[in-house]
C-alpha cells in the first residue's frame, strides 16, 4: 500500500490443495464487503514448491521461501503442537521480524481467517502492535486478554523490531511452547514497557473466531477458525461460515440492519 503496508499469509501444500483452505481464504476476499481490493496487497509466503505452484495458479503475489536448505519440511499438515508445527510457527516469527527490518508494516493473517469487511477501519491508529484474541475482555489495553497470533497488524519501527526479536529469542526460555503461548508469557515483561511498545488487543466484536464469535454481522471484519484442530474440520466449518455470510450479504439493506443474524458454526470444530 502507499504507506508500505502489506498483507501476509503463509501457505504449505496441505493447505493449498484444491477445495481446501487457500481456496476458502481467497473466496472470502472476493465475497467480503469491500475486501476484494485487498487481494492486490496480499503476498502469500509459501513453505514448499508445490504450494508455490498452486499459489501462482490462483494469485499473482506469491513468494517461495526455501526452507529445505535448513533441513525443514513444511509440506504436510503440521498437527497442532507437533515439533514440525512448533518449528513452523517460530520460523514465521523470525520471518516477520525480518520483514519489519525491511521497513514494511504488515497485517499478518492465518489462511484460516476469513476476510469479510475492511479491518483497517477498526485498527487503532496509535498502536505499534495490535492483535486479535481468543478471548477479549472488553479493554484493548488489558494484558489479561488472550491474544491469538493468527491475526495482527504491526507497524515497522525500532520498537516493533526489538519486540519481534525479543519474542523470537524468548522461545529459548520456554522450550516446547508455541509463539502464542510465549507471547502470553512475555506480554507483561518489563522489556515491553522499557522499549515503549504500544500494544493493543483487538475487539472480538470486529475480529472474531470460533473461540469467541463476532455476534453482529454488521460489525464483523474477520472470522478465524481458532479453537479448532484439524484441517478437514476447519475447511468444513469455514465453508459453512462463508455460506452464512453470502446469505447475509444477499439480504435487503433494511433486513441487514435488523439483527439477529447468527452463525451456524462451529459444527465439526470444537475447543482445542
DSSP symbol at 70: G
Per-residue pLDDT for 78 more than 50? no
Which residue has 476476499 as its cell numbers? 29
Domain 5-205: give its CATH code. Answer: 3.90.550
Which of left, alpha, beta for 136 (phi over 0: left; psi -120 to 50: alpha)?
Answer: beta
pLDDT of amino acid 260: 62
For cell 452464512, the residue is 244
Predicted local distance difference test score (pLDDT) of residue 69? 56
pLDDT at 230: 92
Using the Cα atoms of residue 227, residue 215, residue 7 and residue 28 in order, give the sign of their dihedral: positive
Q: How far apart are CA 103 and CA 85, in angstroms?
A: 28
- Res 264 pLDDT > 70: yes
User: In degrees to the nearest 10, what's the CA dihedral of 269, 231, 223, 40?
Assistant: -170
Examine the pLDDT at 51 and tell me if it is beyond 70.
yes
Q: What distance in Å separates the CA atoms of residue 142 and residue 122, rounded to the nearest whole number?
A: 17
- pTM for this prediction: 0.93
Where is 181: in which H helix or E strand? helix 179-186
**CB under 8 Å to 112, separation ≥6 — which residues?**
21, 24, 25, 150, 224, 225, 226, 228, 234, 238
Question: How many C-beta atoms lie closer than 10 Å to residue 247's C-beta?
Answer: 12
Amino acid at each position: 500500500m502507499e504507506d508500505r503496508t502489506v498483507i501476509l499469509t503463509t501457505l504449505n501444500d496441505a493447505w493449498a490443495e484444491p477445495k481446501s483452505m487457500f481456496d476458502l481464504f481467497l473466496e472470502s476476499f472476493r465475497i467480503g464487503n469491500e475486501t476484494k481490493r485487498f487481494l492486490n496487497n496480499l503476498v502469500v509466503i509459501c513453505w514448499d514448491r508445490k504450494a508455490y505452484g498452486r499459489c501462482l495458479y490462483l494469485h499473482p503475489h506469491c513468494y517461495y521461501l526455501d526452507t529445505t536448505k535448513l533441513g525443514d519440511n513444511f509440506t504436510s499438515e503440521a498437527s497442532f503442537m507437533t515439533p514440525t508445527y512448533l518449528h513452523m510457527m517460530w520460523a514465521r516469527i523470525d520471518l516477520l521480524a525480518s520483514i519489519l527490518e525491511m521497513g514494511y508494516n504488515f497485517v499478518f493473517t492465518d489462511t484460516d481467517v476469513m476476510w469479510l469487511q475492511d479491518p483497517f477501519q477498526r485498527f487503532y491508529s496509535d498502536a505499534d502492535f495490535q492483535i486479535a484474541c481468543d478471548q477479549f475482555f472488553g479493554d484493548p489495553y488489558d494484558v489479561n486478554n488472550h491474544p491469538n497470533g493468527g491475526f495482527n497488524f504491526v507497524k515497522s519501527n525500532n520498537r516493533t523490531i526489538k519486540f519481534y526479536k525479543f519474542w523470537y529469542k524468548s522461545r529459548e526460555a520456554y522450550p516446547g511452547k508455541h509463539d502464542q503461548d510465549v507471547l502470553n508469557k512475555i506480554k507483561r515483561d518489563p522489556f515491553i514497557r522499557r522499549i515503549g511498545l504500544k500494544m493493543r488487543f483487538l475487539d472480538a466484536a470486529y475480529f472474531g473466531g470460533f473461540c469467541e464469535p463476532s455476534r453482529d454481522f454488521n460489525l464483523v471484519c474477520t472470522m478465524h477458525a481458532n479453537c479448532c484442530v484439524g484441517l478437514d474440520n476447519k475447511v468444513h466449518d469455514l465453508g459453512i461460515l462463508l455460506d452464512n455470510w453470502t446469505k447475509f450479504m444477499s439480504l435487503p439493506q433494511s433486513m441487514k440492519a435488523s439483527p439477529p443474524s447468527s452463525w451456524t458454526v462451529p459444527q465439526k470444530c470444537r475447543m482445542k
